[in-house]
Structure 1
Amino acid sequence: MKLSADLIALQDRIGHRFGRPELILRAVTHASMSGPNRDDNQRLEFLGDRVLGLVMAEALLAADRKAAEGQLAPRFNALVRKETCAEVARQIDLGAALKLGRSEMLSGGRRKEALLGDAMEAVIAAIYLDAGFDAAKTVILKLWGKRIHTVEDDSRDAKTSLQEWAQARGQTPPSYTETARTGPDHAPVFTIRAELADGTGAEATAGSKRAAEQAAARALLDRVTDRDG
């Protein structure tokens, strides 16, 4: 099977060449594009979630040999949650390679948080089936990178962390404003702006208001902490 140019480029960004190229094609095929001769990525998503979970559990135990289960659990949840998978998907521009039906294309499917997160899990499963657990582990650890070592901060609720940051500096709580809404009523995509009293803000887009608010809060928190240096 010969891969299209966009999937060849995606392989390079992932860092894995598929011996069974049909697996990467299935991993990027959304249910809206499936048919009699084309499988979608839902079953791969199910498997990829489990592979990711095992890799992250091992990585967290290795990174902090003294951490109790109560400390490890929120870190684990932060690393495997859909928002984090979507962040990694954006990092490798997975959205550009997705195979979507017309309705998903028109509703901004390439930017949807849940869709990107699901596809990232499917890609992980595709690597696992193509080359085994060690190959999948290598790719996951490379793509998740420093998140594994900075997860203590990320495991906290981003909106709560941003509010505490503002209050510690005598500022009023940040505001959250919906700046755009696209897509059909059954699958809306929200863009939310988080803003501090001094006008510093950041925007994020996701398939739910809650996810978009969290992502915007995380982006704004990263911006102001980098600025404070």
Structure 2
Amino acid sequence: MKLSADIKAFQARLGHEFTNAALLVRALTHSSMATPNRDDNQRLEFLGDRVLGLVMAEALLSQDQGATEGQLAPRFNALVRKEACADVAREIDLGGVLKLGRSEMLSGGRRKEALLGDAMEAVIAAVYLDAGFETARGVVLRLWGARLGAVKEDARDAKTSLQEWAQARGLPPPDYVELARKGPDHAPIFTICAQLKSGQRAEATAGSKRQAEQAAARALLDQLQAE
């Protein structure tokens, strides 16, 4: 199968050149583009979720051989959740090569977190089917490397932790205000402010709204704990 120049460039960003290019095309095909003669990526997404999970579980066990299951579980969840997959997808501009139906494209499908996360899992499955588990593991560890290295002892959701902090002090849940959005549609940059009714606030900037909200919540928690 002959690949377009943009998909060839995507292979370079991904770090794997496919022997069976049809697998990659299928992984990049959303259900809105499926036809009787063209499969979508949903079955690959199912498989890729399991491949990613096994790679992350092995990596976490190797990284900290003294960790308990209770310590490993939140780290694992932070690494395999859909938002993490979508963030990796944005870093390699997967959205730019997705095959979408017209209505999905017009509704901003290339930026949707769930859609990007699903497609990232499908691409992982495509690598696995094309070249085996060792190759898929190498691709995943390279793309997730910084996240794996930075995952914290307490990998709990920062927004949840901040909300619990506020509730314990009789405050309403924090607000998250979008202060700015810059960059092209396929790679936007958001600046979010997390603020409490008591007046404390913190800002953060990231490549997705959810990631910026989490970073702002974490920054505000750090600020509160330092007071």
Aligned residue number for residue 195 of structure 1: 194
Q: With structure 1 as the length reference, what TM-score do the two structures score? A: 0.79
User: Aligned partners of 1:176 and 1:146: how far apart in 2?
Assistant: 26
User: Aligned partners of 1:152 and 1:128: how far apart in 2?
Assistant: 28
Measured after TM superposition, the shift of residue 195 of structure 1 is 3.0
In the alignment, structure 1 segments of 5+ residues that lack a partner are: 167-171, 181-190, 207-211
User: Aligned partners of 1:64 and 1:90: how far apart in 2?
Assistant: 28
Report how many residues are paired: 208
Report whether the alignment pairs 1:220 with 2:216.
yes
Measured after TM superposition, the shift of residue 111 of structure 1 is 0.7
Q: With structure 2 as the length reference, what TM-score do the two structures score? A: 0.80
Q: Is the 8 A contact 1:112 1:205 kept in 2?
A: no
Measured after TM superposition, the shift of residue 156 of structure 1 is 1.0
In structure 1, what residue type is equivalent to 2:203? G
Which deviations, in whole Å up to 9, do the C-alpha atoms of 1:15-67 show, x marking residues without a partner?
Answer: 00000001110001000011122110000000000100110010000000000
Q: Is the 8 A contact 1:176 1:192 kept in 2?
A: no
Give 1:115-194 correspondences, 5 Å limit: 115-152=115-152, 155-162=155-162, 174-177=174-177, 193-194=192-193
User: Aligned partners of 2:125 and 2:177: how far apart in 1?
Assistant: 37
User: Aligned partners of 2:205 and 2:175: how far apart in 1?
Assistant: 12
User: Aligned partners of 2:104 and 2:131: how far apart in 1?
Assistant: 31
Measured after TM superposition, the shift of residue 161 of structure 1 is 4.4
User: Aligned partners of 2:154 and 2:131: how far apart in 1?
Assistant: 31
Measured after TM superposition, the shift of residue 149 of structure 1 is 2.3
Give 1:54-73 correspondences, 5 Å limit: 54-73=54-73
Aligned residue number for residue 78 of structure 2: 78
| CA 155–200 in structure 1, closer or farther in 2 if over 3 Å, else same | closer
| CA 165–151 in structure 1, closer or farther in 2 if over 3 Å, else same | farther
Measured after TM superposition, the shift of residue 175 of structure 1 is 1.7
> SS at 1:218's partner residue?
helix
Measured after TM superposition, the shift of residue 147 of structure 1 is 1.0
Which deviations, in whole Å up to 9, do the C-alpha atoms of 1:126-160 show, x marking residues without a partner?
Answer: 00000000000000000001211221267211213
Which deviations, in whole Å up to 9, do the C-alpha atoms of 1:148-180 show, x marking residues without a partner?
Answer: 1221267211213456899xxxxx974224789
